[in-house]
């Protein structure tokens, strides 16, 4: 059996707020570790039938970036859901929600500026 390892290092400030997120994968072709401003990681616990999540973002993650991040996660989750279940109609509904979400998010952001 082949094994792949993903390592995530989170550097915290004295108040335990993330300052830097650095990750690396053993199968990656990248020459250096990758930096990220935010991450969402979920595991499915089959015994408890529940999702366990780790959501972190750094101090320098901007609000507009967070909106884009969520929009992209929603659309890619819709694609993953479609591949895993063959539920094309539900996947398209998820994508439609994601489009509405980002439009409303950007409209709210524009009002605040």
The predicted-structure confidence for 58-67, as pLDDT tens digits, reads as follows 999 999 999 9
Same domain, residue pair 52 and 79: no
Calculate the dihedral angle through the C-alpha atoms of 78, 38, 28, 31, rounding to the nearest 10 degrees.
Answer: 150
Same domain, residue pair 8 and 53: yes
Domain carrying residue 37: 1-59
Q: How many distinct structural domains can be found in the chain? A: 2
Same domain, residue pair 1 and 54: yes
Same domain, residue pair 70 and 48: no
pLDDT tens digits for 65-95? 999 999 999 999 999 999 999 999 999 999 9
Paired tokens of 92 = 């398209």
Same domain, residue pair 53 and 6: yes
Supply the pLDDT for residue 41.
97
Supply the pLDDT for residue 113.
76
Same domain, residue pair 29 and 83: no
pLDDT above 80: residue 98: yes
How many of the other CB atoms lie within 10 Å of CB of 78? 21
Same domain, residue pair 55 and 73: no
The mean pLDDT value of the chain amounts to: 95
């Amino acid at each position: 059996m082949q094994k792949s390892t993903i390592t995530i290092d989170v550097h915290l400030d004295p108040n335990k707020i993330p300052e830097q997120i650095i990750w690396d994968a053993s199968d990656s072709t990248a020459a250096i570790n990758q930096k990220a401003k935010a991450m969402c990681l979920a595991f499915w616990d089959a015994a408890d039938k529940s999702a366990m999540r780790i959501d972190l973002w750094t101090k320098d993650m901007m609000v507009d970036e967070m909106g884009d991040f969520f929009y992209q996660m929603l659309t890619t989750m819709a694609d993953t859901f479609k591949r895993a279940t063959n539920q094309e109609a539900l996947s398209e509904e998820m994508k439609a929600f994601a489009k509405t979400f980002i439009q409303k998010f950007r409209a709210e952001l524009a009002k605040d500026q």
